[in-house]
Structure 1
Amino acid sequence: MEDISRRSTSQGQKSVTSNSSWKVNKDYIFWCRKCNIPLLDGQCGICHEKCPSIELTQPGDIRFSSRHEQNIINDLMSGSFGANPLAGKPVLLNKIPGEDKTDEIIVDGIRFGILRFDMKELVFRLDLMIEGALALIGSGIHKKLIRISSHGRHLSGKAIDGSEILECSDDIKSGDTVLLTGKNLAGFGISYRDSSELKNPGKSLRIKKIDSKKIAFLSKNPSLDDIVRANAPYMKNLVRDAVNTIRGIANQREFRDSPVYVSFSGGKDSLTTLDLTRSALRGQIKVFFANTGIEFPETVEFVRRFCRENNIDLTEVEAKEAFFENLPSFGPPAKDFRWCCKICKLAPINTVIEECTRGGRKCITIDGKRKYESFIRSRIAPKEENPFIPGQVSVFPIRNWRAIEVWLYLYYRGLEYNPLYDLGFERVGCWLCPAELSAEYYRFKELHPELFKRWNDYLLEWAGEHGLSDAFIEHGFWRWKTLPPKMKRLAEELNIDTTLKSKKEEFGISVTGGVSPCKTGGYTIEGRLTGLMPYEVLNIAGILGESIFSEDLGLLLIRRDNSSIKVFSSGHISVNARSKEDALSLFENTAKQSIRVKKCTKCGVCLKVCPVGAVSIEPQLRIKKDCIRCGKCIKSCVVVKYSDYTSPSFDTAPFFIP
């Protein structure tokens, strides 16, 4: 097979647009019907014919189906229709919006159906699309088949009376998806009755979609080598752009003497990035792997073995038990509450970057993030400076690649990849990650029942302490702090209460007196602090202002400009400022700093961002007198960022008196 990184473009071939001008979402692919091959460019690299495009539901991060997914499709097809005409064919899956794992099935250049994980029943379903139904009928499927007498193109969405059913197979049950044929028409629908009652008067089925088109499966089943070869001209340009991105940035004057690290998570994207970097740079590169302590065992083993067998210098930084040690303070992480990433990933990585950036040097990190992975990542630039780690510059050479392009690269290069992909996982990092789909979570249960039990038992106990049912955990609601509309609808349909009951905490801070005019001038707000003494607040007082502490009086006084904060040993807090807004802002800042003292995880991120070295975390968090109150440590603090979740009792809004 030809080297896709060297092969020249065929004469007359449609040119490939540079990565820099691509749309964020390429919502199409092409399909060569002659070779029956999915293409990323409009001209087949084998037969050189121009090929039609297929529109994809956005975001369009299409990929090859895994062995596990193929087995699921086979079981569903065989169970419903007695056969699986998709077997042996290249099946693509395009991720689309849904309650959980939801993929558009593309096969032989047609939109066959949708494979989805049903969050009510917690099982996979396959919903046909009209092209898939027509192809099944054309293939000679005779199970779940109904012939109707109705004709005309306006039957889609309509109910059919039993008197209009001419014949049906004897395997139909109420609720089944059925194939429909009629005079010059075919389609699919939902049966309201069993076969024995379908011809009785009354509504027997509802037609979902019906059409006069003829669609058939293609006869040729290409090999993986054929697919790679057909896409080689396109991939050549893609690889060249990625390699040039790495070389171009690494060779810039400010980075020429900088060490180059590759962030290797054990996933397909970082594996591709690692291989591209090794091809792009002649010098020795270093690879680091953040072992969070909750990585899939397969991922840890794969990273170590791959680097060992390929003579790669691997630095493995370990968080060890950091996740479970901090779990009592934060509770379970969520998609919108990912405290674990800073504590278990960013903090350990600091130890690597600290050596790299010593003496004010720059450190280049080659990263495999892609725009198609999430909305947040959709605007990543070719390079970014890390706001939390001064001196670290991240480069994203495959930011414009889709999953199918990553897989084509790995297949061509013959690279061993993480075995979890073939076992049905899209995410191969932390096994309890809230960003993991419920479909993957229950697949994880099958593969690692002991690890699953450890986490699920904790979740059930946590749910019980907060007045939530086991069903709240079972159906995956724990993965959000603020439920999205789709999960709110699901909760209503399942009649699951999602209201989190407050758990009595040893530590708390609350407003007791509201904002009111003070006789001596300005405005005052009163509050109460429990579980933290004035001498402990003194540790961070420097970031709030100049402080005086009287142990005899049990009073901490903090002054800044024309404002003051008083913290009494009784737990009473009094804040005075020139305006209502200033008083409320100062109280909120005092509250967040108190939370920071009480719940510091010692992740060390604040140490790196402080420009004057005024922060220490041993034996506990302390802000020294050198503090210039720039606020950088506050912005980087995971405890402050998620203070609304870690200390939900603190809510100033109801007490603001206009």
Structure 2
Amino acid sequence: MKHSKKQRRTGEHIHWCMECNTPLADRICCRCKGQGRRIQLTEPGDIRFASEYENQLLSGLLMEHFGTSPFDGRIILLNKVPGDDRSDEVIVDGIKAGLMWFDPVTKKHRFRPTADGAALLLETATENVVTIEDTGRHLSGKKVKPENTAGIPESPVLIRTETGLAGAGEWQESGILKIQDIKRSGAQLLPETPSMEDIIAANIDHIRRLGKDGMNIIRGIANQKQYRKMPVQVSFSGGKDSLVVLDLALSALKKRDVKAVFVNTGLEFPDTVEFVRKHCRERKVPLTEESAGNAFWENIDSFGPPGKDFRWCCKVCKLAPAAKAVENCSSSNGTCLTIDGKRRYESFSRSSTPASEMNPFVPGQLNIFPIRNWRAIEVWLYIHWRKLDYNPLYDTGFERVGCYLCPASMQAEYEIVKKKYPQMYQQWNSYLKNWATEHSLPEEYIDHGFWRWQSHPPKMLKLAEKLGIKTKPAERKGRFEIHSVSGTSPCTAGGYSVEANVTGLTFSEVEGVMYVMGSITSSEELGVIAVNTDEFSITYYSTGSLKVRAGSRESAEEIFNTTAANLARIRNCTLCGLCTKVCPADCISLDQGLRIDESCNACGRCLDSCVAARYR
């Protein structure tokens, strides 16, 4: 992720006032005027306050592992870090105390202390404490076998030495203890236990400055001459970020009509729908609710489960209602100002978000992003400072409050859905299980969240191997058809994309003609065929999903149509041999059906001459 030096300094660390025991979004504490101690963070550094659910979860894990929970009642920060599923650095009293994560194998949360965290826990721990000999050598990463001591494999252990070292480790087989981190630590819990009001007081100058800057961004764009009379709407999803921008917009444009727009995908949590309506009603904000209705379920049979790398659902459930909302909002010149809560820390694709831009997804919409550089902790500080009611789902363990079956969600969140919304979970899980059966995939494929990808990343392939789960779906043949998903739209990775689903072709048949489109990379084991050139990319999955991406809308549509025509040749081929006669590379074979080998130079002459390609 590329940021400017200023952005990098902001995103990778936070400060902590050791006098007041409060986290600081800036360097100086507004309570005692002292300078906070810098804490380096793992990227991207979108640090947040632990929710009520996360506090209870951590407390339960500490009691389970070590028989103590000394962090109760303290302000705890969580910093999301890379992992197999949900993983967070835990920071308490200015100390990186450990890592809390969800294990997708056991479907349970786990906690591993740092050496500093171990020092804090050793003060009161009664379980899983081991004393080892200090050999005077470097011990981190080493394996030892304490006398007359053994534990359950993979269970966490607090380690101390008679010379005062503190550390953490994990039991392995045969009573072997692997030391993960150990050192001479002076870490101690601080005497102060601040309230949220104390934390706001310590950060008040920074919060006010953020709010003022956000309002100035809104005013600076909305009050420009060409936009002054245009209608203004806030994209209000019911999440924390859109809650803040709604408040900023109402404060910045007091003499101007501002309305909220809620795009109901038909897959929202009931709590979210209720919160959006209640909040707007209590603040007397006009609310427009545009619904996708049953669009997701009407299209699922054609396209299958959406994936992180194949989000057809966004086009069907978000773009169509959003376009309707803009159409209803637009001024006489066809433009609508929309204030949006997008932040650059949320994802790699949002890291270069400007202050405003025309929405490439929805023509006629100028988006304004007043909190694009805010971190999650700053969003929450603003919410608490302004005493804004927020979506109650945040207190129940959800980090994001979008669609309940979104493939971008963590498996940890699906476990919460399973408990909190059993009927919704069962409807989706039943569909997934039936889909898996139709594709000869085991139930475990669904249980461990493999459905969330068309092409699985290395971490998921490693997990599948560990669990012995098949990840390649069986091929299904039938009538040849290509269904595209709501036309062409901008792609988060850049350019424009077209998604579609192909039926009636085998993986081998598709592989046999794709050299016409360019040099291919193919893996039957992974079930993916890819064509990547400087101008475009084509990805085909064994499930039948097809994705085309190019630099412009016109190019994406052209490449998609050419690809579709190329695939139509397979099913419609009459073995007339005309393509072999026009091919300058002599790379086409008809002995076992139409096949084109790697010597193809992608000139396209065979495709231009093929009558079968014109009928699909």
Cα contact 1:24–1:378 (8 A) shared by 2: no
Q: 1:178 to 1:22 in 2, by over 3 A?
A: closer
Identify which of 86, 92, 97 aligns with 1:101: 86
Q: 1:172 to 1:493 in 2, by over 3 A?
A: closer
1:214-363 to 2 correspondences below 5 Å: 214-282=186-254, 283-357=256-330, 359-363=332-336
Cα contact 1:25–1:372 (8 A) shared by 2: no
The answer to whether residue 168 in structure 2 is matched with residue 188 in structure 1 is: yes
Shift of 1:256: 0.9
Alignment deviations for residues 202-249 of structure 1 (CA, whole Å, 9 cap, x no partner) = 864222222122211112110010001100011121111111000000
Cα contact 2:231–2:331 (8 A) shared by 1: no
SS of alignment partner, residue 94 of structure 1: strand
Q: 1:351 to 1:176 in 2, by over 3 A?
A: closer
Q: 2:476, 2:364 → 1: CA distance?
A: 42
Alignment deviations for residues 519-541 of structure 1 (CA, whole Å, 9 cap, x no partner) = xxxxxxxxxxxx99xxxxxxx9x
Cα contact 1:273–1:398 (8 A) shared by 2: yes
SS of alignment partner, residue 380 of structure 1: coil
Number of residue pairs aligned between Structure 1 and Structure 2? 515
The answer to whether residue 26 in structure 2 is matched with residue 68 in structure 1 is: no
Map of 1:179 onto structure 2: 158
The answer to whether residue 119 in structure 2 is matched with residue 147 in structure 1 is: no
Map of 1:610 onto structure 2: none
Map of 1:374 onto structure 2: 347
Q: Which amino acid aligns with 1:92?
A: L
Cα contact 2:271–2:392 (8 A) shared by 1: yes
Q: Which amino acid aligns with 1:177?
A: P
Q: 1:411 to 1:358 in 2, by over 3 A?
A: closer
Q: 1:430 to 1:458 in 2, by over 3 A?
A: same
Q: Which stretch of the first structure deviates more once superposed, 173-182 or 433-442? A: 173-182
SS of alignment partner, residue 15 of structure 2: strand
Shift of 1:357: 3.0
Shift of 1:55: 0.2
Cα contact 2:29–2:35 (8 A) shared by 1: yes
Cα contact 2:169–2:177 (8 A) shared by 1: yes
Q: 1:393, 1:341 → 2: CA distance?
A: 19
Shift of 1:407: 0.4
Q: 1:636, 1:289 → 2: CA distance?
A: 30
Considering only CA atoms, is the larger Rg found in Structure 1 or Structure 2? 1
Map of 2:527 onto structure 1: none
SS of alignment partner, residue 422 of structure 1: helix
Cα contact 2:323–2:363 (8 A) shared by 1: no
Q: 1:581, 1:290 → 2: CA distance?
A: 38
Shift of 1:308: 0.9
Map of 2:38 onto structure 1: 53
Q: Which amino acid aligns with 2:75?
A: P
Q: Which amino acid aligns with 2:306?
A: P
Cα contact 1:159–1:203 (8 A) shared by 2: no
SS of alignment partner, residue 394 of structure 2: coil
SS of alignment partner, residue 104 of structure 1: strand
Shift of 1:186: 2.1
Map of 1:490 onto structure 2: 463
Shift of 1:104: 0.4
Shift of 1:129: 1.1
Q: 1:99, 1:356 → 2: CA distance?
A: 42
Q: 1:125 to 1:252 in 2, by over 3 A?
A: same
1:8-157 to 2 correspondences below 5 Å: 22-23=7-8, 26-137=11-122, 139-157=123-141
Q: 1:143 to 1:328 in 2, by over 3 A?
A: same
Q: 1:326, 1:269 → 2: CA distance?
A: 30
Cα contact 2:61–2:111 (8 A) shared by 1: yes
Cα contact 1:337–1:642 (8 A) shared by 2: no
Q: 1:389 to 1:144 in 2, by over 3 A?
A: closer
1:544-583 to 2 correspondences below 5 Å: none
Cα contact 1:103–1:115 (8 A) shared by 2: yes
Shift of 1:84: 0.2
Cα contact 1:258–1:361 (8 A) shared by 2: no
Q: Which stretch of the first structure deviates more once superposed, 23-32 or 342-351? A: 23-32
Cα contact 1:36–1:222 (8 A) shared by 2: yes
Alignment deviations for residues 498-547 of structure 1 (CA, whole Å, 9 cap, x no partner) = 112222243347xxxxxxxxxxxxxxxxxxxxx99xxxxxxx9xxxxxxx
Q: 1:218 to 1:71 in 2, by over 3 A?
A: same
Point out where structure 2 has 5 or more consecutive residues left out of the alignment.
Answer: 488-515, 521-530, 532-537, 539-544, 546-550, 572-593, 602-616
Q: Which amino acid aligns with 2:17?
A: C
Shift of 1:285: 0.6
SS of alignment partner, residue 253 of structure 1: coil
Q: 1:229 to 1:479 in 2, by over 3 A?
A: same
1:469-488 to 2 correspondences below 5 Å: 469-488=442-461
Shift of 1:389: 2.8
Q: 2:315, 2:114 → 1: CA distance?
A: 43
Shift of 1:20: 11
Percent identity for Structure 1 against Structure 2: 45
Cα contact 1:153–1:211 (8 A) shared by 2: no
Map of 2:495 onto structure 1: none
Q: Which amino acid aligns with 2:360?
A: P
Q: Which amino acid aligns with 1:208?
A: Q
Cα contact 1:272–1:410 (8 A) shared by 2: yes
Q: 1:147 to 1:504 in 2, by over 3 A?
A: same
Shift of 1:102: 0.5
Q: 2:391, 2:517 → 1: CA distance?
A: 53
The answer to whether residue 422 in structure 2 is matched with residue 437 in structure 1 is: no
Cα contact 2:307–2:454 (8 A) shared by 1: yes
1:451-600 to 2 correspondences below 5 Å: 451-508=424-481
Alignment deviations for residues 314-345 of structure 1 (CA, whole Å, 9 cap, x no partner) = 00001110000011111111111111111111
Shift of 1:286: 1.5
Map of 2:577 onto structure 1: none
Shift of 1:657: 2.9
Q: Which amino acid aligns with 1:657?
A: C
Alignment deviations for residues 462-514 of structure 1 (CA, whole Å, 9 cap, x no partner) = 111112111111111111111111111111111111112222243347xxxxx
Cα contact 1:25–1:58 (8 A) shared by 2: no
Q: 1:207, 1:312 → 2: CA distance?
A: 57
Q: 1:147, 1:631 → 2: CA distance?
A: 64
Q: Which stretch of the first structure deviates more once superposed, 317-326 or 178-187? A: 178-187
SS of alignment partner, residue 162 of structure 1: coil
Cα contact 1:292–1:344 (8 A) shared by 2: yes
Shift of 1:652: 9.1
Cα contact 1:388–1:636 (8 A) shared by 2: no
1:389-400 to 2 correspondences below 5 Å: 389-400=362-373
RMSD, matched Cα: 3.2
Q: 2:237, 2:411 → 1: CA distance?
A: 21
Cα contact 2:319–2:361 (8 A) shared by 1: no
Map of 2:401 onto structure 1: 428
Q: 2:266, 2:410 → 1: CA distance?
A: 20
Q: 2:411, 2:199 → 1: CA distance?
A: 32
SS of alignment partner, residue 49 of structure 1: coil
Q: 1:654 to 1:481 in 2, by over 3 A?
A: farther
